[in-house]
Amino acid sequence: QQQVKQSPQSLIVQKGGISIINCAYENTAFDYFPWYQQFPGKGPALLIAIRPDVSEKKEGRFTISFNKSAKQFSLHIMDSQPGDSATYFCAAKIASYGKLTFGQGTILTVHP
Amino acid sequence: GAGVSQSPSNKVTEKGKDVELRCDPISGHTALYWYRQRLGQGLEFLIYFQGNSAPDKSGLPSDRFSAERTGESVSTLTIQRTQQEDSAVYLCASSLARGGTDTQYFGPGTRLTVL
């Protein structure tokens, strides 16, 4: 059962543009939603995370928007840079449990 | 300080052989997780340890897969009688504790290829 659906699978953006990646979840018990960034040959690294008691969280050029009623959340990367080219994964967790449930990933390419 | 380390980085094996993958978590992290990443897919949870006990083994795909952890240190994931569908990157992560929003820090993974 795929509990977190992520789109698009791949995304190409010009330098300076906005990258938007969307995720939808099914399990209403999820209460922690992190985004991970993965470069080739490396493990994923936490980028930014949100709890469902807020609708938006911003850290630098990265913003998570959260819509609890629609069970959707998205990552916005402002002023995208070639160094942002990586695979991005959304994830969800029940905070009192251990495991993360991941989306399928989005390969982002930012052209100079 | 040092991050999560995994060994080997690459493992090529023949179908039917057993393999052992190792994870060294960040010192002081009580929680340890194993995930599997198939080509072009997201990460699949396999098992998690709190100390040396495994309260959640729900992601282990078959009884060919097992894992153990020594205290709050090294963990090994063992796959017996490997099959071609076991080919994937196996990722280990650790966190300070299980609950809440403690960040899971990932190692670089072991790429397993079963011929």
For A4-32, give one letter per residue: b (16+ CB within 10 A) or e.
bebeeeebebeeeeebbbbbbbeeeebbb
Per-residue pLDDT tens listing for chain A (112 residues): 569 999 999 999 999 999 999 999 999 999 999 999 999 989 999 999 999 899 999 999 999 999 999 999 999 999 999 999 999 999 999 877 789 999 999 999 999 9
Tell me the pLDDT tens digit for each residue of B31-55.
Answer: 999 999 998 888 999 999 998 899 8
Q: Give the pLDDT score at B98.
A: 61
Tell me the pLDDT tens digit for each residue of B58-106.
Answer: 999 999 999 999 877 999 999 999 999 999 999 999 998 766 678 899 9
Q: Would you call B106 and A45 a contact, using CB atoms and an 8 Å cutoff?
A: yes
Q: Does B34 touch chain A (CB under 8 A)?
A: no
CB < 8 Å to A96, chain B? 99-100
Q: Give the pLDDT score at B71.
A: 79
Pairwise pLDDT comparison (B1 vs A74), residue with the higher score: A74
Pairwise pLDDT comparison (B98 vs B24), residue with the higher score: B24
pLDDT value at B1 more than 80: no
Residues 41-80 of B with CB under 8 A from A: 41-45, 48, 50, 55-56, 59
CB < 8 Å to A89, chain B? 42-43
> Which residue, chain included where needed, has tokens 């699949």?
B44
Q: Give the pLDDT score at B100.
A: 67
Q: Give the pLDDT score at A1.
A: 53
Q: Give the pLDDT score at A96.
A: 78
**pLDDT > 90: percent of chain B:** 78
Q: Does B109 touch chain A (CB under 8 A)?
A: yes
Q: Does B28 touch chain A (CB under 8 A)?
A: no
Q: What is the 3-state secondary structure (H, E, C) of chain B?
A: CCCCEEECCEEEECCCCCEEEEEECCCCCCEEEEEEECCCCCEEEEEEEECCEEEECCCCCCCCEEEEECCCCCEEEEECCCCHHHCEEEEEEEECCCCCCCCCEECCCEEEEEC
